[in-house]
Structures are given as structure tokens and as C-alpha cells.
Structure 1
């Protein structure tokens, strides 16, 4: 499905409606089946053991899927996560940005289902995989 929002439009929407994430994420591309989003890793995203924390990776997965859904349905701020399952597969490289590749598998009238593969920048193998379902309000 062709996107309804450009990166510039999405950034403006996020700045107005979701200022809590300002400066943490960068939208790299919006594609026909999802989007690629980067978590700009900072000291606050690290945990003991010198790795990126699970909550930071969860945030990347959730924000990535949110952007994938919004880019398809338009700016409907009240779309919410109804389910998320995340598998942590490898230790991310500390201090290196994480890239989330969000892909929508089903976009229905009330639910969207997709997954996000998370990579440490420069690594070929994913460090985590998340499966998410979003509830879409009437719009």
C-alpha cells in the first residue's frame, strides 16, 4: 500500500503530537510496506554490561510500527499498541545506533499487524525481532 505521509509530514506530525520522542529517533525511509527508523543511541539508552537496554529496543520497535501505521492511514494519533512480543537475539553494540526495519503484514479497518527487525548499525544479523499489533480508531 502506498504511503499517505512523507517523511517531512511524519516528522511534523510527531513533533506536534508526540514530542516525548524528539531527538531520539530519525526516520530513514518510508516504503510501500513499512519504514526504517533509527534510534540515536545515547548514554541514557545503555544498561549495565555495556549494551543497549531492552526498553530502548522496545521503544524503537513501537515507534517504528507507529510510524509504519501512521504513514498508511494518515495522522490518526490515537492508534495504540495492543500487543507486542520481542525476541532479543544478540547483544547490540553499545554506543552504536540501532536501525528498526518495520514491515506491515496486514492493515485492516481496526487492526494492523507487523514486525520490526532491529539491527546494530554495521551488523548484518538482527539483534532483536518484535511482532506488534496496533488498534486503529475510527477515522
Structure 2
């Protein structure tokens, strides 16, 4: 598969279509094989016990799958999540950003399937694993 959008253009597109998450995520790496995306973790992402909340981890996995898909199909703001399965495996380290390693496993005309591993920055042990499917709107006109 060949990238249609680079990291900088994708970051601008994400800010344009999702202004409510501006500054929350960053793209560390983007190429034909992998996307590494960052959740700039702060107090709003914590839950009692001082760890990153499940909803914050889901958000990172979901946005990473969306970005990975968009990079291959082009700017399609109306692609939507149709499936997500996430396994929370260990407690993320408090005070550290979370990183998502996303790989598009299958890209068809209607669906994109992406595998995402989440890590606390600096650790090689995943804190969560997610599998997401995105529905790609049919081409217009």
C-alpha cells in the first residue's frame, strides 16, 4: 500500500475535522508499514488511582486507526468506526505519554481493519491491544 497523505498533512487534516482534540495527539512516525501516534497524557486523561483511563486509551486507539486508514485512502472525514475490540493488559505508567503502534491489516473499498498496540512511553510491554474496523464511505460521483 502507498501513502496518500504524509504526517504533517494528516496532522493538519485531523485538526481541521476534529478541532475538539487539537493538541491531544501527535504523530511520531508514519510510513507504509506503521503509524506511531502519541496521546499527550495530562490530568484530564487520568482516573482514580493515578493511571490513564480506559476511555483515554480507547480514544488513542480509535484515532490511530482512523489516521492510519486516512493515510492510505486520502482525506475522508466521514469514515466511521464500525467495530472495536480492546484488551486492557496492564496499568499504564502515570505521568507518561501513551504511544499507539497502528498497522492496517486489510484495506478494501468498504472496510479497513487495523491492529493497534498501546504502550507507556519508554516501555516495551503493551498496556492494551485493540482491533478496529472502519467503514469507508463509497466514492461520490
TM-score (norm 2): 0.96
Report SS of the residue matched to 2:122: coil
Q: What is the CA RMSD across the aligned residues, in angstroms? A: 0.8
The CA deviation string for residues 26-56 of structure 1, in whole angstroms up to 9 with x for no partner, is 0111121331100000000000011100000
Which position in structure 2 is the counterpart of 1:61? 61
Q: Shift of the alpha carbon at 1:74?
A: 0.3
Equivalences for residues 14-29 of structure 1 within 5 A: 14-29=14-29
Stretches of 4+ aligned residues off by more than 6 angstroms: none
Which position in structure 1 is the counterpart of 2:123? 123
TM-score (norm 1): 0.97
Q: Shift of the alpha carbon at 1:133?
A: 0.4
Report SS of the residue matched to 2:67: helix
Q: Shift of the alpha carbon at 1:20?
A: 1.3
Which position in structure 2 is the counterpart of 1:33? 33
List gaps (5 residues or longer) in structure 2.
none
List gaps (5 residues or longer) in structure 1.
none
The number of aligned residues is: 139
Which position in structure 1 is the counterpart of 2:105? 105
